[in-house]
Amino acid sequence: MKEFSDQEQVRRNKISNIKRNCNPYPDRYEINYNLKEIKDLNDGVNNVKVAGRIVLMRKMGKISFLTIRDIEGSAQISIKIDLVGEKQYEFFKDNFDLGDFIGVEGEIFTTHTGEKTIRANTFVFLGKALKPLPEKFHGLNDPELCYRQRYLDLIMNQDTRDTFLTRIKFIKEIRNYLDNLGYLEIETPILNNKPSGAIAKPFKSYHNALDMEVYLRIAPETYMKRAVIAGMPKVFEIARCFRNEGIDATHLQDFTMIEAYQSYYNYQDNMKLIQDMLQAIIKKMYGTLNIKIGDKEIDLSGNWPSNSFRDLIIKYADIDIAQYNTKELLLKKIQENNIDLESSTPIENLGYGNLVDYLYKKVARPNIVGPIYLVNHPISLSPLARANDEKPEITDRFQLIINGAEIVNGFSELVDPQEQERRLLEQSKLKAAGDDEAMDMDYDYITAMEYGMPPISGWGMGIDRLIQLLTNSNNIKDVVLFPLMRQTINEEIKK
CATH assignment of the domain containing 50: 2.40.50.140
Residues 246 and 173 in one domain: yes
Provide the whole-model pTM: 0.89
Is residue 351 in some structural domain?
no
Same domain assignment for residues 182 and 87: no
CATH of the domain at 218: 3.30.930.10
Q: Which domain holds residue 455?
A: 158-304+370-490
- Whether residues 284 and 433 share a domain: the answer is yes
Inside any domain, residue 132 = no
- Domain check: are 182 and 296 in the same one? yes
Residue 207, domain member (yes or no): yes
Residues 26 and 98 in one domain: yes
In a domain, 333, yes or no: no
* pLDDT recorded at residue 494: 57
Looking at the fold, whether 54 and 184 belong to one and the same domain comes out as no
Q: Is residue 434 part of a domain?
A: yes
- Residue 393 CB: number of other CB atoms within 10 A? 13
- Let me know whether 110 and 247 are in one domain: no
Q: What is the pLDDT of residue 72?
A: 96
Closest CA to 128 of 215, 7, 244: 7
Residue 495, in any domain of the structure: no
Output the pLDDT for position 357: 87
Instruction: Provide the number of structural domains found in the chain.
Output: 2
Rounded to the nearest 10 degrees, how much is the dihedral formed by the CA atoms of 170, 176, 179, 181?
A: -90
Note whether 100 and 168 are same-domain residues: no
- Please give the average pLDDT of every successive group of 10 residues along the chain, which has 495 residues: 85 92 94 97 97 96 96 97 96 96 98 96 96 76 92 94 98 98 97 84 94 95 96 97 89 95 97 98 96 88 94 92 89 89 81 86 89 90 87 93 93 94 88 80 93 97 95 94 85 54
Residues 188 and 284 in one domain: yes
Asked whether residue 266 falls in the same domain as residue 392, the answer is yes
Q: Please indicate, yes or no, if residue 147 is contained in any of the structural domains.
A: no
389 neighbors 444 (Cβ within 8 angstroms)? no
d(CA 274, CA 325) in angstroms, rounded, equals: 31
Within this chain, do residues 120 and 170 fall inside the same structural domain, yes or no? no
Are both 110 and 207 inside the same structural domain? no
Q: How many CA atoms lie within 13 A of 1 on its CB side?
A: 2
